[in-house]
Amino acid sequence: TARGDWIWILSHGRVTARDAQGCAIRIVGTNTDITARRAAEEKVRALNTNLERLVEERTAGLRASEERFQLVNRATFDVIWDQEILTGAIWWNERFEPRYGYTPDEAGQNGDFWRSCLHPEGRDRVIANVKAVLDSSGETWTDSYRFRRKDGAYVFTAVESMGTYKDLKRGKAVKPQAK
């Protein structure tokens, strides 16, 4: 530039005339200052590099969180579940099948299965209690009820907070029997 600054130029040229031997004798072209575009591209590259670093950090954090969850999941004798309220999809940990006899496929991916396993004498009360928490600003649900195992027998079950089951025997939490 006139001030002595370096700038990025994009040049386009086109041969417009050739001599009898086919050699170019005239070329017409344009020079475009792309300094701002190059600066923007560099800024995008820097932002992308930073974003990739943040994604890697977040991924590492999620990986560590998943590892901690799996350690807790294996350390507990409780059945742990997670339900997506909007879709009804339910995930059960591996303690569900030994405790109640149902495979994840048999339990399905929605609350219909769970409701069908509630003892008829307590079903309406339990469902009303869950609904009361969901309809309020409450965050936890604590209840006890009878739940039907695959063999048809009902077991007393307690839910402490949202998503943790404990077996009850004579009103006390008990560990599942070793197989």
User: Quick one: pLDDT at residue 80?
Assistant: 84
User: Quick one: pLDDT at residue 42?
Assistant: 96
pLDDT surpassing 80 at residue 70 = yes
Supply the pTM of this predicted model.
0.57
pLDDT in tens, 107-163: 877 778 889 999 999 999 999 998 888 888 777 888 999 999 999 999 999 887 654
Task: Name which residue leads in pLDDT, 22 or 167.
Answer: 22
Average pLDDT of the segment spanning 28-54:
96
pLDDT surpassing 60 at residue 169 = no
Measured from the Cβ of residue 113, the count of other Cβ atoms closer than 10 Å reads 14
Strands 164-169 and 154-159 turn out to be: antiparallel
What is the overall mean pLDDT for the chain? 85
**List of E strands, 77-171:** 79-83, 90-92, 143-148, 154-159, 164-169
pLDDT surpassing 70 at residue 166 = no
Tokens for 99, please give them: 């405790």
The residue with tokens 């303690």 is 95
**What DSSP character marks residue 45?**
H
Nearest to 141 by CA among 164, 122, 123, 119: 164
User: Quick one: pLDDT at residue 162?
Assistant: 54
Q: CB within 8 A of 176, min separation 6: which ones?
A: 77, 95, 98, 99, 167
- Pick from 40-44, 81-85, 86-90, 162-166: least confident: 162-166
pLDDT surpassing 90 at residue 104 = no
User: Quick one: pLDDT at residue 164?
Assistant: 46
The one-letter amino acid code at 44 reads V
Dihedral sign from CA coordinates of 166, 168, 174, 177: negative
pLDDT surpassing 90 at residue 94 = no
